[in-house]
Structures are given as structure tokens and as C-alpha cells.
Amino acid sequence: MTKQSSLSEFLSSDAPALFHPEAEKEKTSLGQKAVVAITGIKVFFDIRVPSNTSIPKFWSKVKGILATGKDNEGKTVNMNLIQMECIKAYPIRGYHAEKKPYLRIVTPNKDLRFTALDIISSYNSKVDPECKIETASDDTGTYYRKVAREYRIPLSGWGLISDYRYNFSAPYYAKSHHCPHAFYVYIDNFRPIDNFELLYKIYPSSLFTHDRALILTWDIETYDSRGLGNKVPEAKNDTSQVFTICMTLHWKDDLIPLERICLVNVETKPDPRWITIICGNQTNLLKAFALCWKSFAPDIQLGFNDSGYDWPFIVEKATKLNVLKWMVQRMSANLHKKADAKSILTWNYFGGRGEPLTNSFFQRSQWVKKTDNGPKKILGRNSINVKINPTLDFESSFLKLPGCVPIDVHASFMQLNPRSEKTSLKFFLEKCGLDGKADMPMSKLWKYYSEARDGTSNSSVKNMHEIVNYCVIDALRCQELMVKSNVINDYREKYEPEPSSRIMRIEDPDEKYKQIDDYAQNKAKSWLEGFVKENIIVNGVTSKMMESCGIAYKRAYRTAVKKAQEMLYQKIGYLYEIFHGEWLSYEIFMVSNPIEVLWEKFMKCARKISKDKNLSVDDEMKEKICSDFARYPSELVKYIEEYNLFFHKLVYYMCYKEHVSIPEEIGPVSSMRKNEIIANLPALPYISEIGALDEISNLWYFHLEDVTESTY
């Protein structure tokens, strides 16, 4: 049985699954391999009802404040989207023998919640203390932390999810091929694990302690048909080529590889120790490398002097062969990566010089020697100078791929041995007491490949196997060096807070290690952020503008949702909820199986109303309800498609307004894509199927009442 089939059987069995979160939505670098989407989280804050005041009268006052007020950005609250619940709870301040009444203000999203809280805060600043409105559950910081506290969601520890849907509806894989597994789970079915003793009997204890960071090591072999003596081939020459790329895969602290892969242009003798892929030509070789990267999605990549030779050679050759864009689209974990070669060389390649796609762009010098008069400035674009000693820097060039951290083992060991006169792989292996590399002079390697390429030797298949073995061993030794010297783990410890730090005194292990992780990431990334902010300007748009633009576009989307709701409400009244409601959305009718999605939404709504999370209906009733729902999607499809197009235009229009309003912060309108510039408010399409909208809404509430009443 294959691993894939075992996974499929496990997921289809509805068995509970262990989950250890690595990042929240706001912080993810898009390198995760699985995502858990949690639904059913209520967004709210509470308002205490004053003593000797009736709830209806007080609620009327609160509604008036929210309906007429504006927050500090001039935003208002659409009261049609607000729900109110009456609860009783103990106030935080003072001692109280009995619970006090509160109004729970439920909003459809956290942005509307923040706006409402801001309006109340503004009201409180203008009235006498005895007239102020007392709020609770009113955190205005990062909302996911509030949710984590209230629902006891572990942010940095193990949790157990059950009754989940795997790759439900549109698979997350369609958005990011590095994230093939998506689990959709209701909040009540995601709980922390407090006692691991029972789980140790089911799962190996190493599962909870073993670092599952995936390491990819690599090495390449190149050739120039002109014959250059002891000079290495340069990618700028059409006579040079890369003919072999070898990779090994490891868990971070494991010496034994999970897999070894050899990509080669010409035929070679098979070897059971690794997978051999014969590519036929250089273009196919580069594409195969990209596909292997996509399949493995490594967290860390290692190479010996790969930032001094391998990466620059691969990037320049891929550019000359017009396959760079194709490769990066498959290697990047960024699901939005649709850039062309020029953009990739500008933003993702650290090591170019001057204008991308010009003859001088790839000219570089690996060493930057310093004198007493100061450094010799290298005008390299985005290259990274790694300090080796006070008089020597190592210039590192590489392709930055979101989701993976590149590490040059050569530079790392030069930093560990700054006074060493020798810096070869052979030297460092001997120093660490490890097995040496395979011995193959460059002249012999080129002779073997030349004969294999031209078919002039009967032993070429055997000779190519010798080259591949040499290349695989060089890649393998990178992992052995890093593990032997504990480089990655020492680096992580280096970026932990001091023992006397406040973070290290936190008793809650979940919160402690979460803050340690945040501290390390912020410290390790600060130099890169500073470099980018100070140096990168493209078409007059700075990186700070790009960051502000992302915030502005999120604001534009929220504004578009509110505007669409207002336009729909004016046109069809309460039926607008079918398009942007809590349970119904126009996107439901655009999926391939809308009835299945409608049924799931319907049952979740019924369970919430009945407050019975185990509520179920018999097959006959389910068939009746689904049959009723099935009458309408086909009638709505034409209008839904028109509305979808309208809504996209509305978002672009709001983005356009942001650029017009604050060009100095996010760039002028000219920095937008031409097909996204919508200068006039788009018109809401004519709703020709109003009867169908009304009927499906009536059906929804009719069946909800029928199902929930039968449970009482």
C-alpha cells in the first residue's frame, strides 16, 4: 500500500487528526504544507446594561449611537448587519454576588466590530463619566489571540481536530500547490491536547518532539564545449551548459536521506541508491529541477558555494532559455506569483547588477576585499555580503523563493572558521572528521561528459554514473556538515531571547514558545526588511508604498463589500443576505456542487439556532430539502455570473479611489494594472430572477423552522 493511499484511507475514515499550527493567516509566509480553516467563530463584543434600565430602552439608545456615529476614519455601521443577544455575566471590575445583564453585539466580521467599538469609544469621550457605556470582550488588538483565549485554541501546541471536511469545495491546492492538504473544521471540533499519555499509545512520541523541517541539498555539474582548462564554465556563453543536478532530501537533524534524485542530460547507468531522470537537454533539465522543487517544497535548502556559482549559473541560463518564469511559478510557495522574468530578476534574484535582462546584469565578483581605506563598493543589485572577517566579505547570490530558506554551507563554515586559509569542501569535511568527497578532476569530468554527449565511448554510461555519484556525494556532504556542527540549531538558539528576558519567564509553554518564535523571526528578518526599505524602488513605487498599498487594498475590499450590500439592499431589501449573508453567499452558487454546500450551510445554521451541535435529520427529510433547493441554482446562474463580474469591478473601483486619494502613500493610478483601472462606479446588474431569490429565501427559513422545531 502506498503512502498516498494510506493517507486517503485515513482521511476518508473521519478519524480525528493531530494538528500543530505553525502560523496564523496574518503571519504566514505561504510555505506551509497543510492548512486548517476554522469556521463558526462568533465575532462580538459586550455592553453592560446599566442598573434600573430596561433592556429594550437601552438597546434603542445603543442602536442610535451606532447608527449615527462614525469612527476615526469616518466609517459607519450598517445596522442591518448587526445582531443583538442578551446574556448575563459577572463584571470584571469589583465584586458582584450575581451575574449582570449584557447586550452581546454580534457583527459579521472583525472590521465592523472595530468600527462599532471605535464609535462607542468616541461617544464615551464626549459624555459625563456616569453616562459612559461600559464594554467587555472589547480587545482591539490582534483578534485571533482573543479567539484563542475564548475557544482555547492552541497557537503553538498540539490540537486535535474531528468531524472535519478534507479539501472541501475548491481544494486549497488550487490556490497554492505547496499546500495540498486543507481541513475545514467547526470551532467546537478543534480542541487542545492537555494530556499526551493516551496519544503516546497511538502515535510515536517522536511525532511530538521531532523537528519536521524538510532539507533539500543540491549540487550541479557544468560543461563548456570550448574547453577552458581549469576555468569553470560561465552561463553567459552559449557553449556552456548545466548537464547534471543532484539533490538529497532529509529531515533537519537526520543524516540518512529520505530520497536522492539525479537529473542528467544523457544516459547513465541506473543506481538503486537514487532516482535517475534522463532529461535529454538543458531546458528539460531545468524544468525537471523546478518540478522536483515543487513536489518536495523544502523548508531549507543547502549547497556548498551554491550562492557563489550554482544559483547564478542556473538563473542566468534559465533567463537565456526563457524558462525562468516557468520555473519560478512552480517553485514559489507564493500563490500570487505571476511575475515575468524581469520582475523575478528584480525582486527575487539577489545578485544582479544594474538593469535586468541587460548584458551586464549577471556580472559579479564573489569576493569583496576590504582595506584600511574602506570597502570597495560593489554595485551589485540585491546581492548579500556575508561578513567572514574584518577584511573579507562573501558575496552571496541566490533566487529567493517564498517558503524556503537558502543557506550556503560554504559561507556558513567560513564564518565558523574566519582565520582558516583553506575553505574547500574537502578541508571542512576533514576538519569535522567526516568521510571525504569523491575525487574527480575537472578535466576528467568534462572528458567523460563530452564522450557521453557525442557517443564516442562505449563506456560512457558507466563513466556518467561516476560523475553522478561524485555530484550526489557533494550534495549529501552538505547535510552531514550542518548536522555534525549543529549549525541550524545553534543559529536558532542564537536568536532566542536572553535567559533573563521577560519572555523566558513566561510559565505558559504555549505562550512562551510562541513569543520566542516571534522574537527570533523578527530579529532574523529585520536586516532584510531594512535593506529592502532603503534600497528598492521600482517605477517610482517604494517598498513602503507597496506595504501601504496592501493595507489600502484590504480596506478597498471591505468598502466594496459594504457598498455592494447597500446597493443590494436598496434594490432587493432583505434578500441581499443571499449574496453577502452569514449563511448564504453568491459564491455558493458558483461552485460545481452548490446543493452539497447549501446543505452543509443549512445544517450548521440549524444546529446554531437549535443549540444542538449533534442535530441531524433523516434521509427522507434531507432528500426533500435538497430537492427543493435544487430547483433554483440553474435559474440563478446567469445573474450570479453577472453579479460576480460586477463585484470584481467594484473592488477595482475602490482600489482606484484609494490611489486617487493617497497617491503619495501607495503610488499614483498609473502604478495600477491597466485592466484593473475602473474610474467609475459600476452599475448593479438588472436582477431578472427576483422571483427565484424570494422563493429560495422563503424555502430556507421554512425548512429551518421545520427542522429546528422538531428538536424541541
pLDDT, tens digit (0-9, with 9 covering 90-100), for 624-655: 888 888 877 777 777 778 888 888 899 999 99
From CA 91, how far away is CA 85, in angstroms rounded? 17
Residue tagged 429594550 (cell numbers):
56
214-475 under CATH 3.40.50.2000, yes or no: no
Query: What is residue 338's predicted lDDT score, i.e. its pLDDT?
Result: 63
Convert the pLDDT of each residue in 165-195 to its tens digit: 877 555 544 455 556 677 888 888 887 776 6
With a CB cutoff of 8 Å and minimum separation 6, the contacts of 615 are 603, 606, 607, 707, 708, 711
Residue 434 contacts residue 484 (beta carbons within 8 Å): yes
**pTM score:** 0.48
Amino acid occupying residue 392: L
In the DSSP assignment, the letter for residue 103 is E
Residue 223, pLDDT score: 93
The sheet with strand 190-192 has its strands ordered as 17-19, 159-161, 190-192
Q: Which ranges of the chain have pLDDT less than 70? A: 1-15, 20-33, 94-95, 141-142, 145, 155-157, 168-180, 194-212, 228-229, 333-338, 353-355, 357-360, 363-382, 491-544, 592, 688-690, 710-712
CATH of domain 43-145: 3.30.70
Q: Which residue has 563506456 as its cell numbers?
A: 459
Residue 115: HSE in the Cβ half-sphere, 13 Å Cα cutoff: 25
φ/ψ (deg, to 5) at 511? -70, -35
C-alpha cell at 298: 523544502
**Burial status of residue 72 (CB atoms within 10 A of its CB: 0-12, 13-18, 19 or more):** exposed
* Vertex 175: Cα angle to 169 and 178 (nearest 5): 115
Helix (H, G, I), strand (E, B) or coil at 492: helix
Report phi then psi at 19, rounded to 5: -145, 135
Domain ranges of the chain: 3-39+151-209, 43-145, 214-475, 495-535, 542-709
Q: What is the 3-state secondary structure (H, E, C) of 202-252?
A: CCCCHHHHCCCCEEEEEEEEEEECCCCCCCCCCCCCCCEEEEEEEEEEEEC
Nearest Cα to 66, choosing from 25, 11, 19, 106? 106
Alpha helices per DSSP H over 573-632: 577-580, 594-610, 619-629
pLDDT of residue 86: 93
Q: Calculate the CA 505 to chain-centre distance.
A: 31
